[in-house]
């Protein structure tokens, strides 16, 4: 995991580099054909990839102001990552002991934790253990990517989604220039180092247009993260060559029957094949599912976690179902907050090194859940930097969090929350 502060390159070996943040080292990937860097240079890295070189003087200035804050934040994070294991039944303790010993859990053990831990004092311990694993693996680094939702036109008809094609709602598409202007503002004004370009499944943007958008955004010196759903494998390959190095694409559910019912004209196996291909191309992969579809069982949720792990992602992205009016699932119930927090904790147990996102769906379910999720194993967030006039039209579900607030407020709230927990945002390099 990379911080949003300048890193010093301390070793280079062809495509691999080692960077240093105040004495902590991380491995990163370089592109020797593009990255004109040498040992001793300062760089920004994101998601394990070098994104930009920084002039030495500028880097040293930034690091000077960060030094004290960096170590203060770490102390707070460490103090919050303590576990009180006395309050658990012996069978649960033995499973958690395996986690502490870095042994992998069997599906039955995951299910035993999911089904068996429901009392508040037991849940508290479960989340504490997950938080301590998060702290052990990631220290206080927390990704905070900026996300631009550039189109809400969709050719799909997913039963749960508020922007499915059948819905008669106001639609918008940003022009490539608008997208670029928003990205540039996010980089120049707020210091974002990674930008997620998300849209509904909208073929209006053909491959050539997407390639141009990616190239322009990459030129800002950021990690370009795409989230555009079902496209051909060739398109994903060509977008990678154009400079998109991370991709977010969920499989939605591992339950074949639920998938078939809720996503007409699409196949689970096709989706999985595409995700595997995206991973093989070399993308930093974010994938995951929705929690709480009707008829879903705890066993399905555990299968969702295991399928995510099998796909080898760098980032887990899952959130609760939030009903959207005007869709076939408008009267469905959302899962409880603890269902989602347990899913976060179990994901942390089975994939200790992964990034786990707190999604806006969880925030929508419960305002305080963001903090609780960060203390239950999660370590990543996305800030919506879509301009308000468009953001309010990206109605994938009702009452979406962050919709009525300015992007400045979302950034401030997120950064304040992270600092209160001793976490350092890894891609907005701002001083508290």
Binding site for ligand 5AD (CB under 6 A): 160-161, 250, 252, 290, 319, 321-322, 324, 361, 396-397
Q: Position of tokens 């401030």?
A: 412
- Quote the least distance from Cβ 158 to ligand 5AD, whole Å: 7
Nearer residue to ligand 5AD within complex by CB, 327 or 414: 327
- Quote the least distance from Cβ 396 to ligand 5AD, whole Å: 4
**Relative orientation angle of helices 107-116 and 337-350, to the nearest 10 degrees:** 150
Nearer residue to ligand 5AD within complex by CB, 59 or 154: 154
In angstroms, rounded to a whole number, what is the distance separating the alpha carbons of residues 304 and 290?
A: 9
Nearer residue to ligand 5AD within complex by CB, 12 or 332: 332
Q: Which burial class, exposed, middle or buried, applies to 178 when counting CB atoms under 10 A from its CB (0-12, 13-18, 19+)?
A: middle
CA dist list (Å): 170 to 157, 158, 265:
16, 18, 24
Query: Roughly how many angstroms between the first and final C-alpha of the chain, as a whole number?
Result: 20
- Quote the least distance from Cβ 211 to ligand 5AD, whole Å: 22
Task: Tell me whether strands 194-199 and 141-151 are parallel, antiparallel or unpaired.
Answer: parallel
- Quote the least distance from Cβ 392 to ligand 5AD, whole Å: 16
Nearer residue to ligand 5AD within complex by CB, 179 or 357: 357
Determine how many CB atoms are found less than 10 A away from the CB of residue 266.
Answer: 17
Contact call for residues 397 and 365 (beta carbons, < 8 A): no
And the tokens for 49?
Answer: 């990839």
Nearer residue to ligand 5AD within complex by CB, 292 or 422: 292
- Quote the least distance from Cβ 259 to ligand 5AD, whole Å: 12
- Quote the least distance from Cβ 4 to ligand 5AD, whole Å: 25
Nearer residue to ligand 5AD within complex by CB, 144 or 196: 196
Q: Position of tokens 């020797």?
A: 32
- Quote the least distance from Cβ 113 to ligand 5AD, whole Å: 24
Nearer residue to ligand 5AD within complex by CB, 281 or 291: 291
Nearer residue to ligand 5AD within complex by CB, 212 or 266: 266
- Quote the least distance from Cβ 365 to ligand 5AD, whole Å: 9
In angstroms, rounded to a whole number, what is the distance separating the alpha carbons of residues 380 and 86?
A: 29
Nearer residue to ligand 5AD within complex by CB, 129 or 322: 322
- Quote the least distance from Cβ 275 to ligand 5AD, whole Å: 12
């Amino acid at each position: 995991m990379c911080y949003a502060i300048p890193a010093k390159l301390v070793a280079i070996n062809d495509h691999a580099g080692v960077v240093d943040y105040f004495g902590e080292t991380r491995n990163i990937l370089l592109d020797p054909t593009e990255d004109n860097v040498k040992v001793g240079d300062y760089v920004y890295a994101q998601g394990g990839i070098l994104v930009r070189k920084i002039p030495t003087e500028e880097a040293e200035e930034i690091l000077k102001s960060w030094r004290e804050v960096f170590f203060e934040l770490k102390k707070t994070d460490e103090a919050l990552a303590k576990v009180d294991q006395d309050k658990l039944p012996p069978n649960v303790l033995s499973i958690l002991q395996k986690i502490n010993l870095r042994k992998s859990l069997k599906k039955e053990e995951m299910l035993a934790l999911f089904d068996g831990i429901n009392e508040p004092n037991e849940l508290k311990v479960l989340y504490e253990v997950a938080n301590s694993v998060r702290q052990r693996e990631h220290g206080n680094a927390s990704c905070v990517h900026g996300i631009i939702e550039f189109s809400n036109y969709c050719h799909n008809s997913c039963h749960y989604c508020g922007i499915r094609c059948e819905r008669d709602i106001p639609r918008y598409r940003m022009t490539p220039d608008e997208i670029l202007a928003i990205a540039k503002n996010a980089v120049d004004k707020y210091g974002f180092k990674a930008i997620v370009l998300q849209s509904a499944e909208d073929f209006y943007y053909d491959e050539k247009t997407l390639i141009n958008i990616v190239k322009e955004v990459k030129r800002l010196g950021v990690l370009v993260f795409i989230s555009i759903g079902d496209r051909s494998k060739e398109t994903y390959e060509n977008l990678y060559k154009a400079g998109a190095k991370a991709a977010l694409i969920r499989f939605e559910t591992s339950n074949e029957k639920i998938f078939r019912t809720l996503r007409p004209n699409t196949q689970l196996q096709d989706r999985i094949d595409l995700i595997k291909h995206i991973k093989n191309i070399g993308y930093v992969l974010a994938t995951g599912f929705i929690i709480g579809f009707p008829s879903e069982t705890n066993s399905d949720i555990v299968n969702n976690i295991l399928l995510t792990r099998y796909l080898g992602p760098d980032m887990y992205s899952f959130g609760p179902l939030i009903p959207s009016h005007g869709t076939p699932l408008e009267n469905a119930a959302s899962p409880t907050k603890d269902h989602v927090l347990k899913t976060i904790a179990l994901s942390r147990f089975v994939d200790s090194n992964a990034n786990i996102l707190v999604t806006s769906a969880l925030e929508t379910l419960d305002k305080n859940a963001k903090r609780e999720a960060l203390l239950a194993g999660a370590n990543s967030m996305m800030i919506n930097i879509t301009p308000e006039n468009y953001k309010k039209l990206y109605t994938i579900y009702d009452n979406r969090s962050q919709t009525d607030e300015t992007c400045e407020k979302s950034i401030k709230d997120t950064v304040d929350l992270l600092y209160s927990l001793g976490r350092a945002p890894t891609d907005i390099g701002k001083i508290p």
